[in-house]
Amino acid sequence: MEIPSVYLERTVEQFASLPGIGRKTAMRLVLHLLRRERQDVEAFANTLNELVQNVRYCVDCHNISDEERCSICSNPSRDHTTICVVENVQDVMAIEATQQYRGVYHVLGGIISPMDGIGPQDLEILSLVERAREPEVQEIILALSPTMEGDTTCFYIYRRLADADVRVTTLARGVAQNDQLQYTDEVTLGRSIVDRRPFKGT
Amino acid sequence: MEIPSVYLERTVEQFASLPGIGRKTAMRLVLHLLRRERQDVEAFANTLNELVQNVRYCVDCHNISDEERCSICSNPSRDHTTICVVENVQDVMAIEATQQYRGVYHVLGGIISPMDGIGPQDLEILSLVERAREPEVQEIILALSPTMEGDTTCFYIYRRLADADVRVTTLARGVAQNDQLQYTDEVTLGRSIVDRRPFKGT
Condensed to tens digits (0 to 9), the pLDDT of residues B9-50 reads 999 999 999 999 999 999 999 999 998 999 999 999 999 999
pLDDT at A201 over 80: no
User: In 3D, which of A152, A75, A45, A99 has the Cα closest to residue B42?
Assistant: A45
**Eight-state DSSP code of residue B49:** H
The DSSP bridge partners found for residue B143 are: none
> A42 CB near a chain B CB, below 8 Å?
yes
Distance CA B107, CA B128 (A): 9
Torsion-angle region of A99 (φ positive above 0: left; ψ -120 to 50: alpha; else: beta): left
Report the DSSP pairing between strands B64-65 and B56-57: antiparallel
Say if residue A158's pLDDT is above 70: yes
Domains within chain A, CATH numbers bracketed: 6-54 (1.10.8.420), 64-170 (3.40.1360.10)
User: For strand B79-86 and strand B64-65, is the pairing parallel, antiparallel, or unpaired?
Assistant: unpaired
Q: Which of B3, B47, B65, B73 to mutate to test the interface with A (most CBs of A within 10 A)?
A: B47
pLDDT, tens digit (0-9, with 9 covering 90-100), for B130-149: 999 999 999 999 999 999 99
pLDDT at res. B1: 59
Q: Which of B27, B48, B88 sits opposite A45 (nearest CB)?
A: B48
Interchain CB distance below 8 Å, B5 and A41: no
Q: Tens digit of pLDDT for each residue in A4-31? A: 889 999 999 999 999 999 999 999 999 9
At residue B2, does pLDDT exceed 80?
A: no
Q: Does A100 touch chain B (CB under 8 A)?
A: no
* Predicted confidence (pLDDT) at residue A153 exceeds the cutoff of 90: yes
For the cut 70, the answer to whether the pLDDT of residue B68 exceeds it is yes
User: What DSSP state is assigned to residue B176?
Assistant: P
pLDDT above 90 (res B118) = yes
pLDDT over 70 (residue B88):
yes
User: Do B51 and A15 form a contact (C-beta atoms < 8 A)?
Assistant: no
Amino acid making up residue A154: C
The separation between CA B130 and the C-alpha centre of its own chain, rounded to angstroms, equals 21
User: Are residues B117 and B110 in contact, defined by beta-carbon separation less than 8 angstroms?
Assistant: no
pLDDT band per the 50, 70, 90 thresholds, residue A60: very high
Determine the average pLDDT of the residues in B92-103.
92
Look at residue A102 in the predicted model and tell me its pLDDT.
94
Exposure of B44 in the CB half-sphere (CA atoms within 13 A): 29
User: What sign does the CA torsion over B52, B55, B58, B59 have?
Assistant: positive
| Torsion angles phi and psi, residue A104, rounded to 5 | -110, 180
Which pLDDT tens digit goes with each residue over B145-198? 999 999 999 999 999 999 889 999 999 888 888 888 888 898 888 888 888 888
> Mean pLDDT, chain A, as a whole number?
92
Give the pLDDT confidence score for residue B109 in this predicted structure.
93
Cβ atoms of B32 and B13 closer than 8 Å: no
What is the spatial distance between Cα B33 and Cα A114, in angstroms, rounded to a whole number?
Answer: 22
User: Would an 8 Å CB–CB cutoff place A107 in contact with chain B?
Assistant: no
**Could you give phi then psi for residue A64, rounded to 5 degrees?**
-65, 140
pLDDT value, residue B81: 96
Q: How far apart are CA A162 and CA B72, in angstroms?
A: 70
A117 touching B, CB under 8 A? no
Q: For residue A202, is pLDDT > 70?
A: no
Burial of B112: CB neighbours in 10 Å, binned 0-12, 13-18, 19+:
buried
Say which DSSP state A118 is in. Answer: B
- Nearest chain B residue to A55 by CA distance is B7
What size, in residues, is chain A?
Answer: 202
Chain centroid, CA A61 distance in Å: 12
Chain A: nearest CA to B192, how far in angstroms?
A: 29
Which regions of chain B does DSSP assign to beta strands (E)?
A: 56-57, 64-65, 79-86, 103-107, 139-142, 167-170
Distance of CA A76 to the CA centre of its chain: 23
Are the beta carbons of B57 and A10 closer than 8 angstroms? no
Rg (CA), chain A: 22
Strands (E), chain A: 56-57, 64-65, 79-86, 103-107, 139-142, 167-170
- C-alpha dist (Å) from residue B98 to A59, A75, B92, B94, B173: 56, 61, 10, 7, 16
For the question of an ipTM over 0.85, the answer is no
Q: How confident is the model at residue A173 (pLDDT cuts 50, 70, 90)?
A: confident
- B6, B46, B52: residue with CB nearest A66: B6
* Res A1: pLDDT: 59
Are the Cβ atoms of A64 and B8 closer than 8 angstroms? yes
Dihedral (CA of B3, B7, B10, B14) sign: negative
Residue A60: exposed, middle, or buried by beta-carbon count in 10 A (0-12, 13-18, 19+)? Answer: buried
Query: Which residues does A26 contact at the CB level (< 8 Å), separation at least 6?
Result: A12, A13, A14, A15, A16, A18
Q: Are A131 and A75 in contact (CB under 8 A)?
A: no
User: How far is residue A183's CA from residue B49's CA, in Å, rounded to a whole number?
Assistant: 50
